[in-house]
Amino acid sequence: MKKEYTVGELASLFKINNQTLYYYDKIGLFSPDKRTSSSNIRKYSFEQIYELSTILYLKRLGLSLTEIKESLLNLTPETANSILTEKSVELRKNLSEIIRIDDAISRKLKYIKKEKKNQEKDSDKVIYRKKRYYYNMGDETLLYSDDSFYFYPTVAIYTSTGKSFGALLENHEKDFLDPNNITTIPRGDYLIAYHIGPYETIPKHREEIMNQRKDLKFSEYMFNFNIYDQFNVSDSNNYLTRMEFLLEK
């Protein structure tokens, strides 16, 4: 086993970049045992391998270089265990969030596939729908700051007084969100229609449908479900929206 290592040799041993060692030296985190003044050649002793491996280990755990520097000064079995415990809690929390997001993405993909198939089957039909749930995201000024907008199918709720937005949920997804912000889409009979084009043209399409179907008694509610939106197509003329008109009994 070698007694001394150059920057390149030590970097190769740990499969890191030479510049990493230069930077660690610059900030006083990990410096060579020897340095020639004439050529500024750095030499690391064999014993320093253990110190560098500890630094890289703590870095893999997610500690910042400042935290690593502080930890090396007071590293004991107790402090090491404390670091591991904190990181374990943090990783489990992050893992739970990643799984939740992945579930939401999978759910959105299935939703898009299913609704595309339903376009021909359900169009211009009256269908009974059970009670559904959505996470209330408020009006459009609040929409884009809410993570739910990006990971759940979006529903736009039209009434006689205006429009608001929500994230369509499955029953089990309610457990992960603030129950005070969860609203129901009422069960009942709905006229189903599909809109192709920009959202701005939906109100006109809505009015046309209501004028055409004088045989039906419309409530004030219409629920629009995004199928193809800005996350699927670049041209708004190709947006696909499922329109559901709640009918009065």
Which one-letter amino acid corresponds to residue 213?
A: R
Spatial contact of 94 and 106, defined as CB atoms under 8 Å apart: no
At 100-156, the pLDDT tens digits run: 778 878 888 888 888 888 888 888 999 999 999 998 887 766 555 666 667 778 899
Q: What per-residue confidence (pLDDT) applies to 174?
A: 67
Strands of the sheet with 4-5, listed across from one edge: 4-5, 42-45, 34-35
Query: β-pairing, 218-228 with 132-138?
Result: unpaired
> Would you call 174 exposed, middle or buried from its count of C-beta atoms within 10 A (0-12, 13-18, 19+)?
middle
4-75: CATH class? mainly alpha
Q: What per-residue confidence (pLDDT) applies to 77?
A: 85
Which segment of 13-17, 75-79, 139-143 scores lowest on mean pLDDT? 139-143
Which one-letter amino acid corresponds to residue 205?
A: H
Q: What per-residue confidence (pLDDT) applies to 219?
A: 96
Half-sphere exposure of 215 (CA within 13 A, CB side): 4
At 157-204, the pLDDT tens digits run: 999 888 898 888 876 666 667 788 899 999 999 999 999 999 999 999
Centre a 10 Å sphere on the Cβ of residue 61 and count the other Cβ atoms it contains.
17
The token pair at 158 is 């039209």
Provide φ and ψ at 140, rounded to 5°: -65, -25
Residue 1 scores a pLDDT above 70: no
Q: What per-residue confidence (pLDDT) applies to 172?
A: 67
Q: What per-residue confidence (pLDDT) applies to 240?
A: 93
Q: What per-residue confidence (pLDDT) applies to 223?
A: 96
User: What are the domain boundaries of the chain?
Assistant: 4-75, 97-247
Spatial contact of 201 and 170, defined as CB atoms under 8 Å apart: no
At 229-243, the pLDDT tens digits run: 887 889 999 999 999
Q: What per-residue confidence (pLDDT) applies to 78?
A: 86
Rounded Cα distance, 202 and 204, in Å: 5
The DSSP H or E segment spanning 185 is strand 182-185
Q: What per-residue confidence (pLDDT) applies to 19?
A: 95
Spatial contact of 56 and 24, defined as CB atoms under 8 Å apart: no
Spatial contact of 22 and 11, defined as CB atoms under 8 Å apart: no
Q: What per-residue confidence (pLDDT) applies to 53?
A: 93
At 44-73, the pLDDT tens digits run: 999 999 999 999 999 988 889 998 998 888
Q: How would CATH label the architecture of 97-247?
A: Alpha-Beta Barrel (3.20)
Query: β-pairing, 132-138 with 162-169?
Result: antiparallel
Rounded Cα distance, 145 and 137, in Å: 9
Q: What per-residue confidence (pLDDT) applies to 217?
A: 96
Q: Of 245, 160, 163, which Cα lies nearest the Cα of 199? A: 163
pTM of the model: 0.61
Half-sphere exposure of 172 (CA within 13 A, CB side): 4
